[in-house]
């Protein structure tokens, strides 16, 4: 079965701007995601998760970073890029992290404000385009993925159609 091409586009007319593509979550969307082949995990903004009527503050699973910051984990029943769909796919909900008490206390003592994705000032990618997430290798490696950066296309093919020698 040949792969079906998905059109990629640049966030801006600059060579360093990220490649963008449409992604559907739980049958909703499409949402604009950045393609990042250097990122192991797919992330979705907490603002996008809230649009799906899910409260990220009440998700049971978390990903702990440096033993002090946790980001919620969400298992989506479906994530779709072009014709490629995965079921029961876990994403990191990126936005307001859950902080350990010691970090919260440090911020309070210093009078610091923790700025998160979706708050001002906007991140570089959000200032260019309304980006709702980042598609990582955990999605792409489930398929035979061919990216043609010259033509701006991504082709995904299921692995079950491979002939083994």
Residue recorded with tokens 């307001």? 96
Span between the terminal Cα atoms of the chain, in Å: 17
**Highest mean pLDDT: which of 73-77, 99-103, 116-120?**
73-77
For the cut 50, the answer to whether the pLDDT of residue 2 exceeds it is no
Cα 127 off chain centre by: 17
Higher pLDDT, 35 or 57: 35
| Pairwise pLDDT comparison (20 vs 118), residue with the higher score | 20
Tell me, what DSSP letter sits at residue 36?
-
pLDDT averaged over every residue in the chain: 76
Lateral strand order in the sheet of 143-148: 4-7, 153-158, 143-148
User: What pLDDT sits at residue 106?
Assistant: 61
pTM value is 0.75
- Residue 64 pLDDT > 80: no
Mean pLDDT, rounded, for 130-144: 89
- The answer, yes or no, to whether residue 125 has pLDDT greater than 60, is no
Find residue 92's DSSP bridge partners.
43, 73
- pLDDT for res 90: 95
Averaged over 135-160, what is the pLDDT? 84
| Domains parsed from the chain with CATH numbers | 4-161 (2.40.70.10)
The distance between the two most distant Cα atoms of the chain, rounded to a whole number of Å, is: 64
If you ran DSSP here, which 8-state letter would residue 100 be given? P
């Amino acid at each position: 079965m040949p792969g079906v091409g998905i059109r990629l586009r640049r966030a801006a007319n600059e060579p360093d701007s990220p490649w963008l593509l449409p992604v559907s979550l739980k049958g909703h969307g499409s949402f604009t995601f950045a393609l990042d082949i250097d990122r192991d995990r797919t992330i979705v903004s907490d603002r996008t998760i809230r649009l799906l009527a899910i409260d990220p503050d009440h998700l049971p699973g978390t990903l702990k970073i440096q033993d002090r910051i946790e980001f919620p984990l969400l298992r989506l029943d479906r994530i779709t890029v072009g014709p490629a769909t995965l079921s029961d796919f876990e994403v990191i909900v990126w936005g307001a992290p859950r902080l350990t008490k010691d970090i919260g206390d440090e911020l309070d003592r210093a009078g610091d404000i923790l700025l998160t994705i979706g708050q001002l000032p906007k991140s570089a990618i959000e200032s260019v385009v309304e980006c709702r997430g980042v598609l990582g290798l955990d999605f792409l490696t489930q398929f035979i993925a061919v990216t043609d950066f010259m033509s701006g296309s991504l082709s995904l093919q299921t692995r079950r159609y491979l002939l083994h020698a």
